[in-house]
Structures are given as structure tokens and as C-alpha cells.
Amino acid sequence: MNDFLRKIKLTKDIIIQLPVSKIDFIQKFRNNVDESNLDYDPFEVFQSSINEYKGHIGDYIFEIKKRKKIFDTNYSFAKVTGELTEENNQLIINAEISCFRKRMIIFIVMALLFYSIFFISMVFNAENTVPFFMVPFLLIHMSLMIGVPYFIIRRSVNRMAYDLERDFHYWVTKNN
């Protein structure tokens, strides 16, 4: 499943190298990320914080995602899990960015089931009262209902990769 998600670009692996020790990075991470277990919080948009991310970090691993904001149109669905290793006075971060959640399978199955039942009922309609323009309309509607969320999620993965690398470099280079 992970290989398929990588092929359709809903999961992405990145490697970030930073000129900082692991201990210093963990401290900067804790200063710039609100501690959270990343569970679903329906009132997250109403919480105030100066930090843009929420997550947690250990000695070797971390999880992070962007904080949702009210009226935000960036669609930040991506969740990042990463490993920290230090070699030759450089921190190497191996991170996996993923937007796909198992609960999305329910939506996809329900949509495909709905459209397949509708198409089958159109084909085997005894009275043939379905107008011809309904078939192209339903194909376009199906492609929009499945395609638009796919492209939004794919954009969210690419945006998170860009933002994460930019913000990590900023955290390391800014003076506290």
C-alpha cells in the first residue's frame, strides 16, 4: 500500500541535512512546536498559539503537522514522521510526509459503489428512459468528486515538504 501511495504521490520521503547537533535541534523543535499527540481536535482552529506546528519529539523520532487556522485555505492535511541521526556534526532528518488516512478508504469505496450502482441501473433499465447526456455528466461528476480531493491532498504533501525544509533551516539559523 505504501508503494502505491508513493507512486500516486500521496506519500513522499525527504532527507534534510542541517548543520546543527541533535540536542540543539530538539531544543529548537520544542520551542517552535506545540506539544500534542496529533489526535483529532474539532476546536483546534479556535486555539491560540504563536507556533505554526504541533507534534512531539523524542530522542530519535518525531511527528509533526501544521496547526489548522480559521479561514485557512492551504489545506494542511499532511502529517510528517521522521527519524533523527547525527553524523559528522550534521543532523540528518529522514522524514515521511503522508496525507492518506485509512478513513479515506471508506469515502473512495462509497463513491465507487454509488457510481457503479448508478451506471449498472442505467444500463439495465428496462424502459431505457435515461437520457444520453446523463452518462457524460456522471463521468465528469465522478472524476471531479474523486479527482479534486486527490489533487488537493497531493498538493498538501508537496507544500508540506517545501514548508518543512524551509522552516527547519530557519529554526537552525535564527538566533534565539
For the chain, domains (ranges, CATH) are: 2-102+144-173 (3.30.530)
Write down the pTM of the prediction: 0.84
Mind listing the pLDDT tens digit for each residue in 52-79?
A: 899 999 999 999 999 887 777 766 789 9
Predicted local distance difference test score (pLDDT) of residue 121: 81
Burial class (CB in 10 A: 0-12, 13-18, 19+), 78: buried
List, for the chain, all residue ranges whose pLDDT scores fall below the cut of 50.
none
Give tens-digit pLDDT for 115-131: 998 888 877 776 767 67
Determine contact, residues 153/77, Cβ cutoff 8 Å. yes
- Report the amino acid identity of residue 141: H
Strand blocks (E) in the chain = 11-18, 33-35, 53-57, 61-66, 79-87, 90-98
The reported pLDDT for the residue numbered 122 is: 79
pLDDT at 71: 78
